[in-house]
């Protein structure tokens, strides 16, 4: 249980355990934690070192087969139904091993973390509210690859670690149908050439209130990023132009 008098304790709980969308009460602080899963599909292309334009086409089934570890959670807290903030962190650790027709072995590992930190201003409506938000989206990618061609002794290895921060602005509209059901539309845009050339996110979803302390969160979400570190032709070159999309299912705990 989070003490409402000390909203920063919600941050500590996020770092320890996880979290999502908050709908604040009439007065004081109100906080919600959401543990969720994203059925991610990743489409686009990526470049690493002197290998450019490699297609990225990973569906949810591939991710389940190669997943080593995953964590997805969110915390949001609001004060007097007007001002607040949220933190959202999603992490996946994937590893795969394949053998080609000549007996060569290819091993690859991808560790990707994406964190959002947003400040929120809420405008109440008759049956819901509009949230205007601004903040950052931090991307953290580590990629390792080992190739043993089988025809020659030894193996070749490559790895790259790249992280960047994109500024964002966006809005989120929530409409309340009744005591049980509500729906949400969200969209934001960022990057602006500061880190990524451009990035955006969009989501549509519904929430069902199970009881006074627990909601079911159902969404479909997409996030696109077009990033390059401007080191083309060098071993440390990294380019990432992908969209990650899929259904999201979470349990939201209200305090």
Tens-digit pLDDT profile for residues 164-187: 999 999 999 999 999 999 999 999
Q: Does the pLDDT value for residue 121 go beyond 90? A: yes
pLDDT at 50 over 70: no
* Residue among 176, 227, 231, 172 nearest 202 (CA): 172
pLDDT value at 225 more than 70: yes
pTM for this prediction: 0.79
What average pLDDT does range 219-236 have in this prediction?
89
> Who contacts 124 (Cβ-Cβ below 8 Å, separation ≥6)?
81
Q: Minimum mean pLDDT among 85-89, 159-163, 195-199: which range?
A: 159-163
113/99 Cα distance (integer angstroms): 28
Count of all residues that appear for the chain in the document: 255
Per-residue confidence (pLDDT) for residue 13, from 0 to 100: 44
Print burial letters for 175-200: b (CB count within 10 Å at least 16), e (below 16): bbeeeeebbbebebbbbeeebbeebb
Consecutive H or E run containing 246: strand 238-254
Token duo for residue 194? 């500061």
Whether residue 89 is predicted with pLDDT greater than 80 in this model: the reply is yes
Q: Is the pLDDT of residue 151 over 90?
A: no
């Amino acid at each position: 249980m989070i003490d409402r008098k000390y909203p920063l304790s919600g941050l500590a709980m996020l770092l320890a355990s996880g979290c999502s969308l908050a709908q604040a009460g009439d007065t004081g602080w109100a906080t919600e934690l959401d543990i969720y899963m994203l059925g991610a599909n990743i489409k686009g292309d990526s470049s690493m070192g002197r290998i450019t334009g490699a297609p990225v086409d990973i569906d949810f089934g591939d991710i389940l087969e190669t997943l080593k570890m995953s964590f997805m959670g969110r915390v949001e807290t609001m004060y007097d139904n007007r001002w607040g903030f949220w933190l959202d962190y999603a992490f996946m650790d994937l590893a795969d091993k394949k053998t080609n027709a000549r007996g060569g072995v290819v091993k690859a590992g991808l560790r990707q973390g994406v964190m959002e930190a947003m400040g929120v201003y809420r405008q109440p409506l008759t049956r819901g509210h509009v949230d205007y938000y601004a903040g950052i989206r931090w991307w953290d990618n580590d990629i390792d690859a080992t190739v043993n061609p089988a025809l020659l002794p030894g193996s070749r290895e490559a790895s790259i670690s790249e992280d960047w921060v994109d500024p964002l602005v966006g809005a989120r509209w929530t409409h309340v149908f009744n005591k049980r059901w509500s729906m949400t539309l969200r969209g934001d845009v960022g990057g602006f050439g500061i880190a990524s050339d451009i990035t955006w996110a969009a989501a549509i979803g519904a929430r069902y209130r199970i009881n006074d302390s627990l909601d079911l969160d159902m969404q479909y979400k997409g996030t696109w990023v077009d990033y390059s570190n401007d080191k083309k032709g060098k071993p440390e070159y990294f380019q990432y132009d992908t969209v990650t999309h899929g259904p999201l299912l979470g349990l939201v705990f209200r305090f």
